[in-house]
Structure 1
Amino acid sequence: MNTPPSPTGVERTDGPSVLIGVLAPLTRPGWAEAGRHLLAGFELAAEEVNADGGIAGRPLQLVVRDTAADPRRAAAAVDELAGLGVAALAGEYHSVVARAAAARADALGLPFLCSSAVLDALTEQPTEWVARLAPTQSHGWRIYADFLLGAGHSRIAVAAEPSVYWASGVGVLRDHLAPRGGTVVELDMSAPDPTAVCDALARSGASAVLLLTGHPEPAVPIVAAVRRDPRLAGITIGAPAGQPEFPAWAASLGEDGAAVPFLRYLPERFGPLGTRVGAALRERLAEAPSFVAFEGYDTVAVLADVLRSHGADRAAIARSWPEVAVEGTRGEIRFSRTPGTGIRQWVWPPVQVVDRDPADPGRFRVLHTG
């Protein structure tokens, strides 16, 4: 990213830049729309840091690499960025990719602040090098399961593609629902044909189906097929991973994409910082910012605070995670140890279950909070 000129009256930034490596899915098969929002948050926060004097008078510079949802590409990018001298690593949306990046960062002794990926176990063993802003999958998906039970759904079908992330989600749902009288039925997604999915769903006896699949394929065609199948009238379609959050969902499905509950990590009401940042992100993106854009902004806000307090030494940054206390756009950010993660975790960002309003698919309704 190019460092913008300092406004009049603000301390100039000069000297060698402080580098932060950034990972994001910016091209397919990655979820490029999420990557674009994540990067917008990073860039806005970095520009504000530099307008406020940078890091002890030195400009903050983002060195961006596109992961394209490829774990091997992400691991190679971590190696490259470490060689370029970045003080820390930030970003990534896809959980499996973030796990590969975290493993490599841990091996290299490179601090990694994960912005958006939620898979509980980002590393095979406990590490001091990795911290995370997004809530764990188990935390968010339990809240989602409580929403389903509260809405009267006790038999829930899942259309899950093969993936460590989706399999983990199914396990969270099953473990949380079973003691409360809920049942999870897995549909065959070995060949995700929308007609076959509808047939299996009609046989399942489920009152809700969760799309644990990629977007737009095969999620969009499955939603369209379910909406048009008279056997499935009244069935609830859910997408806990957040596919309906972005405008492309509404553009592809229109009214069919409404009333599909999903998880997002935003407060019910923003404070002054969140309100200001939200307006700036909307202008930058030319559309409503997703929770992912706020995650990007908060990531750089935390790293800038750490760099100003502890300098650009990698080991000092990693040691500082327990001391972080930063006002983020969605609340005060602090890190602690969380069982099952092996890393430092913000406990917890706000969690909502929302959907697009059938009367106005461009508007979101908050259905449940946790």
Structure 2
Amino acid sequence: MNTPTSPPGAERTDGSSVQIGALVPLTRPGWVEAGQHLLAGLELAVREVNDAGGILGRPLELVVRDTAADPQRAAAAVDELARLGVAALAGEYHSVVARAAAARADALGLPFLCSSAVLDALTEQPTEWVARLSPPQSRGWQVYADFLLGAGHSRIAVAAQPSVYWASGTRILRDYLAPRGGTVIELDMSALTLTAVCDELVDNRATALLLLVGHPEPAVPIVKSVRRDQRLAEIMIGAPAGQPEFAEWATLLGDDSAAIPFLRYLPERLGPLGARVETDLRERLGEAPCFVAFEGYDTVAVLADVLRSHGVDRARTAESWPRVAVEGTRGQIQFSRTPGISVWQWASTPVQVVDRDPAEPDRFRILHAG
């Protein structure tokens, strides 16, 4: 493995802080609510690390950069954070942004623990520098495909925008569903009006429509249009990427926000640590934390354990990924090599398909787990 030397001062013991660079989408077109929850989890864990004595007697500090869902902005932030001497990188929600950050981190020899992005090919080539907590897209979306089949859906339309992430999701669904009798019908949202989308759903006899599009635009208008079309009263709308997770979804759509299944990465029941963190996150956020907040907390918990055990040298941090064994909010976290995945991967991340309960849209129902 390429092991560039750590920056001057990386092993200081003079009481100066140990810094972790945090990449978070905090402004549009990023999914801002996801960024806020991710940051809340990161910050809560940092506070707890410092309350427990920090990293070898030094305080832990987050150096936060807003990626705004922009890959170029994220890559520039990685360059800046590397120059500032951070011990490691954490965070990011958007897959295409995390991919740009991972490429720069790999090139610079900067350890990066990706919190929430799922794109399988997070780097072009296998790397020792990057590890990930969220499950790869192929695993999560295959769980979602199993849910669709179990619910009796074999003619599935995807309303998709141009993106590496959405294209990857469509390919995963098609490759998994086709041998099992399923058909995926692609609707190009760069070319179709909302009325045309409804007409295509009717003409293709689709029983499910999946939203592979941005939030809130155009996801919210698509839902409203389909819900208003009496020809489509029986169609199921789904959102595997998780748009309905966030409170803004319910605010914008009201009753139409419910019964739209999506993926989230939580166990059926939280253990004692997860339950305590949930309470603290709820107080910090002023609302129920989504799974992304737990991902943020777990990211810092892992990095703090590594930094305490192996010091703040970047190369030693990267070399420690396969030896991680940390109790996180959602289970025991360990990293391994997964076939087809280029980074160190937590292989047992819990995966659920859930939706908002039509009788009580603020409550989530677990529909399937994998």
Q: Does 1:260 align with 2:260?
A: yes
Partner of 2:17: 17
Partner of 1:344: 344
Structure 1 contact 14–57 (Cα < 8 Å) conserved: no
Tell me, in whole angstroms, the C-alpha distance in 1 between the residues paired with 2:141 and 2:118.
10
1:187 aligned counterpart, secondary structure = strand
Structure 1 contact 244–257 (Cα < 8 Å) conserved: yes
Structure 1 contact 142–172 (Cα < 8 Å) conserved: yes
Deviations 1:259-278 (A, max 9, x none): 00000000000100000000
Question: How much does 1:341 deviate?
Answer: 1.5
Deviations 1:347-370 (A, max 9, x none): 021000000000000000000000
- Specify every segment of 5 or more residues in structure 1 that has no aligned partner in the other structure, as ranges: 1-12
Query: Which runs of structure 2 are paired with 1:94-113 in the superposition (5 Å)?
Result: 94-113=94-113
Structure 1 contact 18–86 (Cα < 8 Å) conserved: yes
Q: Does 1:188 align with 2:188?
A: yes
Tell me, in whole angstroms, the C-alpha distance in 1 between the residues paired with 2:32 and 2:191.
24
Q: Does 1:150 align with 2:150?
A: yes
Question: How much does 1:14 deviate?
Answer: 7.6
Question: How much does 1:329 deviate?
Answer: 0.1
Partner of 1:359: 359
TM-score (norm 1): 0.96
2:320 aligned counterpart, secondary structure = helix
Tell me, in whole angstroms, the C-alpha distance in 2 between the residues paired with 1:14 and 1:369.
48
Letter in 1 for 2:114: C
Question: How much does 1:192 deviate?
Answer: 4.7
Partner of 2:239: 239
Partner of 2:35: 35
Structure 1 contact 192–218 (Cα < 8 Å) conserved: no
Letter in 2 for 1:134: S
Tell me, in whole angstroms, the C-alpha distance in 1 between the residues paired with 2:191 and 2:179.
31
Tell me, in whole angstroms, the C-alpha distance in 2 between the residues paired with 1:223 and 1:71.
28
Partner of 2:305: 305
Change (3 A) 1:288 1:194: same
Letter in 2 for 1:28: R
Structure 1 contact 113–132 (Cα < 8 Å) conserved: yes
Partner of 1:178: 178
Question: How much does 1:298 deviate?
Answer: 0.1
1:145 aligned counterpart, secondary structure = helix
Structure 1 contact 160–189 (Cα < 8 Å) conserved: yes
Structure 1 contact 158–209 (Cα < 8 Å) conserved: yes
Q: Does 1:322 align with 2:322?
A: yes
Aligned-residue CA RMSD (Å): 0.9
2:176 aligned counterpart, secondary structure = helix
Tell me, in whole angstroms, the C-alpha distance in 2 between the residues paired with 1:118 and 1:46.
24
Letter in 2 for 1:31: W
Tell me, in whole angstroms, the C-alpha distance in 1 between the residues paired with 2:326 and 2:29.
34
Partner of 2:5: none
Letter in 2 for 1:36: Q
Tell me, in whole angstroms, the C-alpha distance in 2 between the residues paired with 1:243 and 1:161.
15
Partner of 1:132: 132
Deviations 1:16-47 (A, max 9, x none): 10000000100001111100000000000000
262-271 or 335-344: bigger deviation: 335-344
Letter in 1 for 2:198: C
2:341 aligned counterpart, secondary structure = coil
2:327 aligned counterpart, secondary structure = strand
Partner of 1:3: none
Identity among equivalent pairs (%) = 79
Letter in 2 for 1:298: D
Tell me, in whole angstroms, the C-alpha distance in 2 between the residues paired with 1:77 and 1:227.
41
Figure out how many residues of one structure are paired with residues of the other and give that number. Answer: 358
Letter in 2 for 1:173: L
Tell me, in whole angstroms, the C-alpha distance in 2 between the residues paired with 1:195 and 1:284.
42
Question: How much does 1:129 deviate?
Answer: 0.2
Question: How much does 1:342 deviate?
Answer: 1.2
Deviations 1:52-107 (A, max 9, x none): 00001100000000000000000000000000000000000000000000000000
Structure 1 contact 20–89 (Cα < 8 Å) conserved: yes
Tell me, in whole angstroms, the C-alpha distance in 2 between the residues paired with 1:134 and 1:20.
19
Partner of 1:8: none
Question: How much does 1:191 deviate?
Answer: 3.2
TM-score (norm 2): 0.96
Letter in 2 for 1:51: D
Tell me, in whole angstroms, the C-alpha distance in 1 between the residues paired with 2:259 and 2:268.
19
Tell me, in whole angstroms, the C-alpha distance in 1 between the residues paired with 2:30 and 2:100.
15
Tell me, in whole angstroms, the C-alpha distance in 2 between the residues paired with 1:317 and 1:114.
14
Change (3 A) 1:287 1:192: farther
Partner of 1:62: 62
1:139 aligned counterpart, secondary structure = helix
Deviations 1:86-143 (A, max 9, x none): 0000000000000000000000000000000000010011110000000000000000
Query: Which runs of structure 2 are paired with 1:279-294 in the superposition (5 Å)?
Result: 279-294=279-294
Query: Which runs of structure 2 are paired with 1:202-281 in the superposition (5 Å)?
Result: 202-281=202-281
Tell me, in whole angstroms, the C-alpha distance in 2 between the residues paired with 1:296 and 1:193.
37
Tell me, in whole angstroms, the C-alpha distance in 1 between the residues paired with 2:274 and 2:251.
27
Structure 1 contact 14–59 (Cα < 8 Å) conserved: no
Tell me, in whole angstroms, the C-alpha distance in 2 between the residues paired with 1:183 and 1:38.
35
2:280 aligned counterpart, secondary structure = helix
Letter in 1 for 2:226: V
